[in-house]
Amino acid sequence: MPEGGDAITSHARTAVVVNRVCIMLQEITHNKLNLAVPSQDMRFKRRLLLVLIVVIVVIWLTSLGRRGTIDLPEALSPELEITALKQNLAKLSSECRSSRPSRFDPDLPVIYAITPTYARPVQKAELTRLSHTLMLVPNLHWIIIEDAEDPSPLVANLLKNSGIRYTHLTAATPKEWKLKEKESNWKKPRGVLQRNTALQWIRNNLKVDVHRGVIYFADDDNSYSLEVFDEMRDTQMVSVWPVGLAGGLMVEMPVLDPKTGRVKGWNSAWQPQRPFPLDMAGFAINVSHFLKHPEAKFSFNVARGYQESEILRHLTTPDQLEPKADNCTKVYVWHTRTEAPKLQSEKDLNKKGLKSNAGMEV
């Protein structure tokens, strides 16, 4: 051993400590330590905390390495230690992501979030944003339905990596009901077959008074606050709340009778004569209540803007609706829209047989 090798430097000792932390993290990941933790969430937080410790120490080691070299035996080379630790960290971080707890609480009703989607340039961006919200919602089952004959690898991989409990379905819209390239998106109803496919899955797989939960139509282009999921969870029949940026207004919402607290009308500017002039994001349905009404579904054969009224007319009347969001005075969901990207340069490349995203999933 070189002179001074018996007195290991603080740099090397720190590397050894970090290596022990990595080993401890591996043991926790594989449940080898008998730690008294109250829940899956706590175990997950403990893993994340240890990962953060490793990251901080690795960064510190790297900064020390830049200040000067240390005469150590080859086996304790800081560069080799750091490289090995980074590889170990990457592996453990991947294990933590793949073992993310499902956030299941047996005392909470399940939210069945139904999301129709279709292939387009912004699809992955939209679904990624939505999934990062849904990851934070306990007891959520994501039912995603592609407008396609077969499931796409893009959606399948996104769902697999999300850590969310999910069901992946497909339902291709009939050709006569598909929007043409330059046709306005309001010309034909969208998501009808996809939502009905999800509703049929619920009918086939859940039972009245056995499965506690609510159904919510979570389109992939909306923006959601976590509060909206807390609000809907105890829905008895059909609950309602305001939706921001909907129907040409800053907020479209039910109007309540100050004496009874029941819905007496609607703050709606677009076709206010509709039986239920609200947005698809503005209501939730109790699962058992829904299962008792097999006729409740969407239809291609209704006027523009009447899809919500079509399903709700089978399930409730306006005076039976359950107001949420602090008596409909708070906004927890917004009907946002993603601007269609301008891809003329991409089209010019395509004409030459080229793609800017060749070999990449965007």
Where in the sequence numbering do the catalytic residues fall?
308
CB neighbours of 131 closer than 8 A, spacing ≥ 6?
142, 158, 159, 162, 164
Q: Is 223 helix (H, G, I), strand (E, B) or coil?
A: strand
211 labeled part of a ligand binding site: no
Nearest 5°: CA angle at 112, between 108 and 115? 150
Q: Is 234 annotated as a binding residue?
A: no
Q: Does 332 belong to an annotated binding site? A: no
Give the 3-state secondary structure of 17-76.
Answer: HHHHHHHHHHHHHCCCCCCCCCCHHHHHHHHHHHHHHHHHHHHHHHHHHHHCCCCCCHHH
Ramachandran area for residue 24 (φ above 0: left; ψ -120 to 50: alpha; else beta): alpha
Structure tokens at 185: 């998106």
Residue 100 is labelled as binding a ligand: no
Map residue 210 onto helix, strand or coil: coil
| φ and ψ at residue 28, rounded to 5 degrees | -65, -45
216 is in an annotated binding site: no
Distance CA 97, CA 79 (A): 27
Report whether 313 belongs to an annotated binding site.
no
Instruction: Determine if residue 165 is labeled as part of a ligand binding site.
Output: no
Is 190 known as a binding-site position? Answer: yes
Distance set, CA 282 to CA 252, 263, 321 (Å):
9, 14, 12
Q: Is 336 annotated as a binding residue?
A: yes
Residues making up the annotated binding site for UDP-alpha-D-glucuronate are 116-118, 147, 190, 195, 219-221, 335-337
Residues making up the annotated binding site for Mn(2+) are 221
Residues making up the annotated binding site are 116-118, 147, 190, 195, 219-221, 335-337
